[in-house]
Each structure stands twice: as C-alpha cells, then as structure tokens.
Chain A
Amino acid sequence: MSDTNEMSNTSEQRRQFLKTSVGAAAVAIAPGMLMFDMAHGKTEAVSGKVRWGMLINTANCEDCDECVKACNKENGLSGGLSPTDSQWIRKVELKDMRTERSLALPMMCQHCAEPPCVDVCPTGASFKRADGIVLVDKHICIGCRYCMMACPYKARSFVHEPLHDQKPDVPRGKGVVESCTMCVQRIDKGLQPACAEACPNKSILFGNLNDPGSEISIKMRTEASTQVRADLGLDTGLRYQGI
C-alpha cells in the first residue's frame, strides 16, 4: 500500500512538471497533438485511480505474430525489419541456457513507473501520463536519442526516413523517437490495445493495475508473474507469465 502511495507521490510531481512542459505544446496544435493533450487532460482527473498495464501469458506465443501485425496495422508502421525500421512490438525467441527450454514472447515498451527514458529526456518530450502510459510528444522531441540509450528494454525506435501515408490519429514524424503507446488512441475511446484484441489465444490481458477488482489485478494476485529485469526496480506496467 505504501508502495502505491509513493507511486502516486512521484506521479504527482511528474504531473506538475508535465503541466508546464506540455502546456506550451497545446498552443502549437497539430491535429494529432491535440488528441494527446486531450487524453492527457482527461486522465488527469482520474489519476492514481488508473494505471494501465498488461499481463502476458507466454505459453502460446511460439509461432505466432498476430500482435505484431495488429500493432503495425493500427499504428501505420511499415512492418519493415531492417535495423532502421521502427518496431514498436517484436517477438523475442528465448532459450534458457541451462535447461534448453525455449519460449517466445512479445516485447515492447514496458511502461515503467520509474521510466529511465523520461528521466534522461532533456526536453521533457518523453513523459508518463497520469494513467501510467509512457509516451513521446513528437512535437517536443529533438531526436537526441538519449532515451534510446537509457531504455533497458530496447523499446524505442528512431524514425530514420520521411514517412508517408500516416494514420491521422497516430502522429509520427521523421527525426523523432517513438515507441509503443499502448494504443492511447484506442484506450481513450474505451477500447483495448490492438495487440491485446488481436491475440487469438487471449494471452495479452489488458487492464487497470490500480483497481483491485480488475481481472488483471485478480490474476496477478493469484498467479505467478514477473517483470522483465525486475532487478532494475523500474516497476514495469507489463508483466509476463512463463519466464
């Protein structure tokens, strides 16, 4: 319990800071940005009550990449796999070096409660929304890539080329950094993230970690789950089962 108190304390501070940093951007309204700001304002009222998270059961992840396809489609990513292409979500194949057990899982931004990317960002373009979703404000990002250096999960991509045919509700831009947004544009409409919806095995459980009665909270209370690199103490919003 004291844990959550501490959490809301830091998010209180961060929110204060965000108000100043996002304020000016609201003036420079680009259609996409307006959405981010509105979303930000809306969740502020319910702050502390909501922390979005996902619980991923890796049991059925081998030989499937429906989540990746759904993400690319929803967010207008090319799906290219070159080292300069954006990959907001990727399938990682793992093999335990001692037991030789192999498994696979989808990897993306872990929406850390203590996100290093936000700490290091010089401009405040990387920010954590009141509901725990970590985003990049593409109108403030200067493209220094320090957040990519700082992220322990390799969750971020830098847009290396001019973009064409963007989706109107998913603003992106050349020269700035981007990563999984947990599909804010959907969440703010009351929908689930595209990956969670697309998974044929219902392996991605999306929900409110701060609501003890939510399905995700109940499951996390009754079944074992882990944070990736829990030793770093970042309190990730994504938890995995089966690793």
Chain B
Amino acid sequence: MANHSPLRFKNRIFYALVAAGGLVVLMGLYAAHMMEGHGHIITGMNNQIVWGMPHVFAIFLIVSASGVLNVSSIGSVFNKPAYKARAPLAGLLSIAMLAGGLTVLMLDLGRPDRIIVAMTRFNPTSVFAWNIFLYSGMFAAVALYLWTMMEKRMNPWSKPAGLLVFVWRFVLTTGTGVIFSFLVARQAYGTALLPPMFIVMSFAWGMAVFHVAQSSIYEWNEKLLDPYVQKRMKNLMGVLVIAAFYFVAAYHLTNLYFARQTGFERFILLDGGIYPLIFWIGYFLLGNLLPLLLIYHPALGKSRSILSASLLIILGGFSFLYVFIIGGQAFPLSIFPGYQVTSSFGDGAIGLYQPSLPEIMLGMGGVGIAFLITTIGVRVLDFVPHELPKSA
C-alpha cells in the first residue's frame, strides 16, 4: 500500500502527541506539588471521604494494567497465534498503566517524600504492604516477559515467563480487591466477592484499553486489522463485559438479600443523588448496554463501533469505581446500629465530596504517563502487532 502522507508530517504529529502527553504529565506533577505544599485541603477529600479522585484513576490504571495482559496470556499460555502477535503491545500497555497508576497513588500520599519508608518497612499483616510488593514485582515480571519475547535468543523462555505473568497478575488483582475486602466495618466493602469481581472487571477494562491502543496504532500505520482477529477479539470483549456485569449484579444482590444492607443499597442505587445517577447512566447504560449493543448488533460491530464500545467501557469503568470508592465512603459507618446518630464529625450523615481540579489533574497525569510510555514505546521499539501469515 502506498504511503501518501509524508514521513515528516507523521513525525510532527508524533512529537505533538508526545508534547501533549508531556504537558498533561507536567500538570499532574504541578498538582501534586500544590497538594504537597498546601496539604490535602485543596482536594475534595476530607476525614470522611479519605480516598478520592486520585484513587479512582490509580485503581482503574492498575486494574486495567493487569487485565490488559489477558491478551498476552491467551497468546503464550493458551497458544493462540492471533493473541501471541499482540502480546508485546499488551505487555507495554501493562507497564505503562502500572507506572501511571502507581505514580498517582504515590503522589497522593500525605507524605510522598517518605516513599522509601513504604518500601523498606513492611508490615506483614497489611494488604497494602503486600500490594506494594505485588505491584513492583509485576513490573519486573512483565519486563522479563517482554525481553523474552523481543530478544530472539530468549524466545524459548517466553512461555514460562508468560506463565509467571499470568499467575502474578491474578494475585495482583486479587490483592487489589482484598484491599477493600478487609474493610469489614464498611458496608460497601468487606465482602469476599470483591477479588473475583475485580479480576473479571480487569479483563473487560484491559481488553477495552487494548482495543483503543490497537485501533490507534493501526490507524496510524494505515493498516487494516484482519477481520477475523477483530471479530474474535470483539466477541471476547463482549463476553468479558457481560461477565463483569454479572459480578457487579451479584455484589449488589448479595448486599441486598443476604447481608441485609438495604440502607446502603438504597443509597447507592436509588436515593444517593449523584451516585445512583453515575451508576445507572455512567456504568450501566453507557458502560454496559451501549457497548454491548455496539459489539453485538449485526449492523454494527465494525472497527469504528468497536472503538466507541471500548471507549465507553473505559468510561463505565471509571463510573463504577467512582461509585464504588467514593459512594462507598460517603455512606456513613454504622457505629451504633439501631440508633439515629448525629455529631460534629459527620456521624450518621452522608459524606460530602466535591472533586477539585488539582486531584483531577493528578489523576489525569497518571493517564498521561501511561500514554507517553505507550506512544514512545510503540514508536521506538517494535510493538506493532505483526500478523503471522494465516493467523487462523
């Protein structure tokens, strides 16, 4: 195929993209600097909503970083050539998002300067401490995996390395779910359903992120995705979205009927103001129904609509996490069951939270980091999926 656009023009766009990404990252860093100087008072977080927008971004990035590796796992562990060709790109995306998510998490700390303390002191009973270990191990595992794939001599090792990554990411996503599962006193969390729910959600979100990256790269290189591969990947994504939705439904139903947390469920699903709105419109309608329609409707399902579906799934992921993390904290703790409670510290009252610009900028900075690493990685190293002839 003749390449009509002059190379120089493309180079320019590349630098423009890098500059734009860099700017977003700089804004994020500036926000972190402001937060460090003024304290968290300039965020919307407070003593009731202690985790806010940065955590929504960070957890999305980290969970998707694990999920995107689905593509490589299917390739190496289950030996599917169409996926194998995409494994390096999946690995790169994973490292990029992990880096972005962890940076946000770290810069949101009250004392980011003490990150060394977090790495050198390890409280073995803390899930959070395990996660610090799991996240850094994940970097190493994926880097090793990438190396075995890209270095010819190391190719024979790529299968065991793939297996290591496969197992590691399961543990990692489980660990992320367990962070919340351990919060037994909070009605929104503290259920054993969370780890599997996070695993399945990670698959769906990771797949969506992969699709967005892949479509952009193909567009850029003026390549067309093999319709067969496209069909298989989109069907898998559809199944994953349905599976994730199943878990979310199970989570709410368990709360309703078994744990008898009807008050909390009413709040999140019906009368909690912004939270039910985001849940039903952002998560359910835009994040599930619409993408499924785009994927499965016979008249649709072409690459454009799959790209839109992927973007919507990502939006749905953010909506879900916003409701889960922030809505979950906004609902008051039940310290005195059976009593109506008031105090100067927000006991018995719905927590107020208004995300502020700095914390959104910080979160976006994390996305910017992921974007930059991916863009530069794809350009400098060869991460474009090469279809093996006859990929079926």
Contacts and interface: CB of A to CB of B under 8 A. Distances in A.
Interface of A: 17, 21, 24, 81-87, 90-98, 107, 116, 118-124, 140-146, 148-154, 156-162, 174-177, 228-229, 232, 243
B interface, size bucket: 35 or more
A107 B50 CA distance: 19
Summarize B's interface: helix, strand, loop or mixed.
loop
A122 B345 contact: no
B338 interface: yes
A90 B110 contact: no
A143 B123 contact: no
A175 B109 contact: yes
Most chain A beta-carbon neighbours within 10 Å: one of B38, B109, B333, B339:
B339
A94 B186 CA distance: 20
Summarize A's interface: helix, strand, loop or mixed.
loop
A143 B46 CA distance: 13
Nearest to A110: B335
A122 B127 CA distance: 7
A140 B121 contact: yes
B341 A149 contact: no
Nearest to A83: B46
Contacts of A149: 50-51, 183, 186, 329
Nearest to A84: B46
Interface of B: 36, 38-41, 45-48, 50-51, 109-112, 114-115, 117-118, 121-129, 132, 179, 182-186, 329, 333, 335-347, 351-352
A116 B339 CA distance: 24
A120 B178 CA distance: 11
B123 A123 contact: yes
Contact of B347 (A81, A92, A98, A146): A92
B358 to A, nearest CB: 13
A174 B124 CA distance: 26
Contacts of B128: 120-122, 144, 146
A163 to B, nearest CB: 9
Nearest to A148: B50
